[in-house]
A and B are shown apart, each in its own frame.
Chain A
Amino acid sequence: MLAERTSRGVPLRATGVTAGYGGDPVIRNITVHADPGEVVSLVGANGSGKSTFLKSLVGVVRVSTGTVVVGETDMTRKAPEEVARAGVGYVPQVDDVFAPLTVRENLEMGGYLLPSRQVRTRIDEVTAVFPRLGAMLSRAAGKLSGGERKMLAMGRVLMLQPSAFLLDEPTANLAPAIARTLLEEHVRSLAGSGASVLVVEQRARAVLAISDRTYVLAGGEVRMQGTPAELAASPAFVESFLGGTVTR
């Protein structure tokens, strides 16, 4: 569905990224890459720097050293709107929708770079992914339930058919059924269509099941990385992340 229309993907490369909010850097020397067609996940404890890293990639947090390259273009220290125009879609963890606007207006806002006649068809395609949204197009986003709000945030970013996708805990407020559908079908199919996908998740087992590679962050640095199979072979990783606590 949405995947079919994503024509091209671009690799996303962060090399030696150090960034923070002014004081000591929150993340140090992080090197991560995601190639077209890949789902790459970031896991780690609360406060380990996962969200900060995503923010540094899209220009919300200033990168002090290191480079961010999207496709062939150096995006280091570019403004967020330039990163978005380069085809990077970002779904933040909080403050993810325009609360006073309706669902339809939110989606239109997400597609404002599209030619206006495409916007309507694109909204139909996105609401086919999230049928719940289709039923409430004229409701104010601020009145949605927590999970519906998350779907809208995803849907808004989907409007542009980004070629690289950054998702910060997309399933945090979602019911298990839709969380699984979101990860297994939508996120996976985004990659299947050629986009490069970088996803931060606490539901480690669920996200490992759809990841090609996974990075483990701790204290603002990459501590481990590998394929899900390699990580599953590490006792320390299993103890911390897969101790029987993830969904089902």
Chain B
Amino acid sequence: MNSYYLINLLIYAAVDAMACLGLSQQFGVAGVTNFGFIIFQAAGGYTAAILALPSDSANGGFQSYIGGWDLPFPIPWIGAAVVGGLIALPFTFLVGRRLRGDFAAVGLLVTAVLLNLLVTNYRPVLNGDAGLSLIPQPLLREGSRQSAGYEWLFTVGALVVCAAVYLFVRRITESPYGRSLRAMRDNDIVADSLGKNLLSLRTAMLVTGGAIAGLSGGILVSYITTWSPAAWGYAETVVLFAAVIIGGAGNHRGAILGAILVPVGFEEITRYIPTSNNLPPNLIPSLQWVAIGLLIVVFLWFRPQGVLPERKRVIRASLLGPPASLAPAAPGGTDPASPAAAGTAVAGAAPLAPVPAASAVPRPAAPRPAETAPRGGEVVLQAADVVREFGGLRAVAGVSLSVRRGTLTGLIGPNGAGKSTLLAMLAGTLPVSSGRISYQGQDVTSLPAYRRARLGLIRTFQLASEFKKLTVMENLLSSVPGNRGDSLRGAAAGPRYWRGDENAAIVGATALLERFGLEAHANSYAGDLSGGQRRMVEIMRALMAKPRVLLLDEPMAGVHPSLARKIGGELVALAAGGLTVLMVEHELAIMDEFCDPVVAMAEGAVLAQGTMAELRRRSDVVEAYLVG
């Protein structure tokens, strides 16, 4: 093999690997399907070109372009990265909160096609379809001959930049911030409800991915010294997606492998397909696209996780030492050492205590709901005449409700009464049609869900909402507020900056897992658990968020009765420590034993409020709910 060919392959590999790393970060880690990825690489290429080129009257003025600043290396490369990142900003509205998933992907694809047509057909700015050429190479004066030594130096430079990009995306992905990105990928509505700012996360991913793509374009342009619209057709994005999917989405080494296999290796191999003058000239290149399409289909069919699948992040809490010797574990100050009776909740096993295991926080002396007066502190969460309409249907038709601090307030009612809708409005997952919601004396009606969550108003969901491709431990860690590594800057600062926060969170999560008997599953994917265990993960994750008010939507559905009682006991202990709980639940035994007051809803309105015993005496409640 001659060395020019090898150099060529290596530089293309470095450039494609960089682009794939950017895409892997966006698509594989954060779940942002950017079908317009190639325009960021194109922007970087053009930027590097017009920064390095002399003014367009030079070289006989055969091409016309803006810029032409004749700036020295490394300014063109830096400019390429900066512009690649900056032009991502206008796209954030596409992938923000309003337009997500497939719609955003189609929007980006269309934008890529339009921009390519625009640049192709409008000559003054970037020389139209002829493109830019004679782009100066870094550190080379005009006219000087390229030596093999220079080429090798360029290659090493490109590989070093590629390695730096790899280390950067790995650092981001393996940080608490990366975990938030993966949580958003798995279920963005739930991530929102736990205090993740989706708009900010997606913007950051578009900008960093765009900068990486721009840099790769800049390096490519400085090597091939030419750049034209034909080099960045929308189909190039498909090739990069193919590389990421085949290499393994969510695994950055997979992205590099994919870059070597697909855009470099595969395209090189198809170059050796024999051709002849009898064939139409575009046949072989077109067949290349068909072959890449087939390759994607084959992989999605037989190995959808790619050659190098996303690896599981196993966290060994035992490496941190015994939990007892470390910081206070769980929210609300319950005893991390209480025995994990839940793990033995199988038939024929040791008898379970009827009352939950001892807690550090003493329970109120006489928790017989029927006999106690309405208890609790000041009103912490209040709904005033809240209405929610779906089309013509009034799911919630004017509900006013006050929840007092330190209470376990129950919410019952027949199916379709509007309980879940009310909960969603209280948490901010759904906007109200009319009415006001106040929390801790503040009007939060217009506050988005993630900001309410950051104020300590945390909800759970009726349907399974675990982050499936995060382990149980990661699910719990994902909701911990205030981790220094849970921001782009903190993540970039490296593990040493956030390791302390992370370890404290792991200790807390481990204690909670032990208390609910799920420690054996800490490193299982949450999506692999049984239905009831997933409910447990969700409740524990909500507790890890250090809530002040917890909104639970049927937390006990599908949970074994003895375990349900244990959860109830934990909640009572946490309430004694100041936590407030509003809980929708159909398990009346739970309501009887733990909840006071209980609110009964029917047909979108509050029917009655009182202790469960009082409600049982109300004929309208009995009619609507207790007998069918």
Contact = CB atoms under 8 A, between A and B. Distances in A.
Nearest to B564: A245
B533 interface: yes
Contacts of A132: 415-416
Contact of A45 (B346, B351, B586, B587): B346
Contacts of A224: 347-348
Interface string A187-208: 0000000000000001110000
A168 to B, nearest CB: 8
A72 interface: no
A175 B533 contact: no
B413 interface: yes
B557 A173 contact: yes
B565 to A, nearest CB: 6
Interface string A233-247: 000110111011111
A227 interface: no
Among A47, A204, A219, A244, max chain B CB count under 10 A is at A47
B349 A46 contact: no
Among A43, A45, A219, max chain B CB count under 10 A is at A45
B531 A243 contact: no
A175 B351 CA distance: 29
Interface string A33-66: 0000000000111111111100000000000000
Interface stretch (A11-19, A113-121, A143-151): A143-151
A93 B535 CA distance: 13
Nearest to A175: B414
Given A94-B463, A151-B415, A173-B586, A216 B530 contact: no
Nearest to A244: B589
A219 B530 CA distance: 12
A186 B393 CA distance: 29
B501 to A, nearest CB: 31
A181 interface: yes
Nearest to B393: A139
A132 B624 CA distance: 13
Nearest to A21: B528
Nearest to B412: A175
B560 A94 contact: no
A245 B561 contact: yes
A248 B416 contact: no
Contacts of B625: 175-177
B554 interface: yes
A139 B530 CA distance: 30
B561 A147 contact: no
Contact of B531 (A93, A146, A148, A223): A93
Given A47-B530, A175-B586, A146 B415 contact: yes
Contacts of B626: 176-177
A77 B559 CA distance: 30
B7 interface: no
User: Top 6 closest A-B pairs, CB basis?
Assistant: A147-B415, A46-B532, A177-B628, A218-B346, A245-B561, A216-B347
Interface of A: 21, 43-52, 93-94, 132, 139, 143-148, 150-151, 169, 172-181, 202-204, 216-219, 223-224, 236-237, 239-241, 243-248
Interface of B: 345-349, 351-352, 354, 390, 393, 412-421, 462-464, 521, 528-533, 535-536, 553-554, 557-565, 586-590, 625-628
30 contacts: A45-B347, A46-B532, A46-B535, A46-B563, A48-B346, A48-B530, A51-B531, A132-B416, A145-B415, A145-B420, A147-B415, A172-B554, A174-B586, A175-B412, A176-B625, A177-B414, A177-B625, A178-B414, A178-B415, A202-B532, A202-B560, A218-B346, A239-B352, A240-B351, A244-B354, A245-B561, A245-B589, A247-B587, A248-B588, A248-B589
Given A169-B531, A202-B561, 20 more contacts: A45-B560, A46-B533, A51-B530, A94-B531, A139-B393, A144-B416, A146-B553, A147-B415, A147-B586, A174-B586, A175-B413, A176-B588, A177-B625, A180-B628, A216-B348, A241-B562, A243-B561, A243-B562, A245-B587, A248-B589
